[in-house]
Each structure stands twice: as C-alpha cells, then as structure tokens.
Amino acid sequence: MDKKNGFFITFEGPEGAGKSSQVRMLAEHLTALGMECILTREPGGTPLAEDIRQVVKSHHSSEPVHPETELLLMEAARSQHVHEVILPALAAGKTVICDRFYDSTTAYQGGARNLPLDTINILNSFAAAGRKPDLTFLMDLPPEVGFERIRSRESEGYDRFENENIQFHRTVRQAFIDLAAGEPERVKVIDATADIATISGQIRKIVDEHLR
Ligand code: TMP
C-alpha cells in the first residue's frame, strides 16, 4: 500500500454472496480503529453513476441490451465514480471500501458475456484511471446458494442480471475464481457459505495484516 494514499478495498462475488453486510462490518471495524472510511458501490456511487445503474440493471423489453453496450455503461459509471469519489477520497488519505469494482466487469462482461478480455482490461484501466484496488475480497459461493438467499429477501423480482440463467451465474463464479488465481496477492477468496461472523473475522484478520 502507498502510505501517502488511502487504502482501496473492493468486494466481489456472485449474486447473494453477502458482500454488502461485510462491507458495512469492515467499515465499522476500521472506523473503530480511527480510520476514515467511505463506503460505495458499483455500478453507482455518484448521482450520475446511480442513474446508469438503474438503466443497466433494468429490463428493456423493446430492445436487447448488447453486451458491448452493457460493458460501456459499466465503464462510464465507473469513470464517473472513480473521478468524483474514489480518487479524491484516496488522495485525502481515506479508506475506500467498494461493493464491486472492475473485477465484476471481467467476470460478468468478460466471462459470462464473452467479450474479449484484452478490450476489457484496457477499458477497466482507463475507467479506473490506472488505480488498482489494494485488496480485493472474493466472496465465493455456488450460485444456487446465492439465489436461495436472494429469493428469501427480495420481493420486487429479479433485475436483468439476476434474471440470467444458472449457467450464466456459474460462468461468472468461475471467472472470478480464475482471476483470483491469477492475482493471489491482491484477491483473497473467502468461503461465503460460512456464517457472517466467521467471514467478518477472516476479513478483519487479512485487512489488519495489510495495515501493519
Ligand atoms: P449488485 O450491486 O446488486 O450486485 O448489482 C450489480 C449488478 O451489476 C450485478 O448483477 C453485477 C453487475 N455488474 C456487472 O455486470 N459488471 C460490472 O462491472 C459491475 C460493477 C456490476
């Protein structure tokens, strides 16, 4: 970690992995240690990027959303978020904890939508202004388990991604596992089927080691 700059932590994983709860619990832990934390998410994190989130997650019955369009919407939202929120917060020495970041693009638009990874890598880096997360937690679990959780908590129905078939979500999971294997220093795989307290304990331990 660059000591002059803030700490940038991202959470990734398939649907229903429990990322949001872990983001909150980690922020509470770091705040108690006296660190100033910003919690944010992708797609989203600014008013404009949240508008793009609505568009990209919605069903558009009159026309298909092409994978290329979906990729560019994700990157447009990211660029706005990175420049408006993430980079200024890191420059001010704050810790940024982000629920999804560019590894989701690699897994969803690269793995599951099958868009070329070299294009995705270039766009990820461009939209992130070259900034990489310092630490990424991959909350891994079988999609069947994730959907069981989503079913029990959501009444408003599935968004465009949740509505994809189980094979799509298996491909997403495998793409995340593959990218974690390629960057073991940055991407830590967490068994998201464990109970919430066990998981948060594992995450704290890893973060505390990085901060030391
Ligand atoms: P979520 O934040 O509720 O998980 O919803 C975000 C959805 O958007 C989720 O299905 C994953 C998807 N997504 C992508 O396909 N590519 C991306 O780059 C990001 C950040 C999210």
The mean pLDDT value for 94-109 works out to 98
Q: What is the pLDDT of residue 150?
A: 86
The ligand 1 atom nearest the CA atom of 44: 20
In the reported structure, the alpha carbon of residue 134 is separated from the centroid of ligand 1 by a whole-number distance in angstroms of: 20
Band the pLDDT of 21: cuts 50, 70, 90: very high
Is the dihedral angle over the CA atoms 178, 71, 128, 46 positive or is it negative? negative
* Nearest by Cα to 190 from 140, 133, 135: 140
Hey, whose CA ends up nearest to atom 4 of ligand 1? 15
Angle between helices 67-81 and 117-127 (to 10 degrees): 20
Q: Name residues whose C-beta falls within 8 Å of residue 189's C-beta, 6 or more positions apart in sequence.
A: 138, 140, 177, 180
CB under 6 Å to ligand 1: residues?
15, 41-43, 57, 74, 100, 104-105, 108-109, 161
| Closest ligand 1 atom to Cα of 19 | 4
- Residue pair 6/90 in contact by the 8 Å Cβ criterion: yes
Instruction: Give backbone dihedrals phi and psi of 142, rounded to 5 degrees, phi first.
Output: -65, 140
Pocket test for ligand 1, best of 159, 161, 162, 171 (most atoms within 8 A of CB): 161
Residue 157 pLDDT: 85
168-195 pLDDT, tens digit each: 999 999 999 999 999 999 999 999 999 9
pLDDT at residue 185, as a whole number: 97
pLDDT at 2: 46
Q: What is the pLDDT of residue 155?
A: 66
Ligand 1 geometric centre to CA of 34 (Å): 30
Residue with tokens 């994730």: 146
Digit-coded pLDDT (tens) for 121-175: 999 999 999 999 999 999 999 999 999 988 877 667 899 999 999 999 999 999 9
Tell me what the pLDDT averaged over the chain comes to: 95
Above pLDDT 90, what percent of the chain?
Answer: 92
Give the pTM. Answer: 0.96
Give the integer Cα–Cα distance in Å for 113 and 189. Answer: 23
Alpha helix stretches (DSSP H) within the chain:
19-32, 47-57, 67-81, 87-91, 102-104, 117-127, 143-153, 166-182, 196-211
Q: Whose CA is nearest to atom 3 of ligand 1?
A: 15
**The pLDDT of residue 190:** 98
Pick the closest to residue 109 from 56, 151, 63, 155 (CA basis): 56
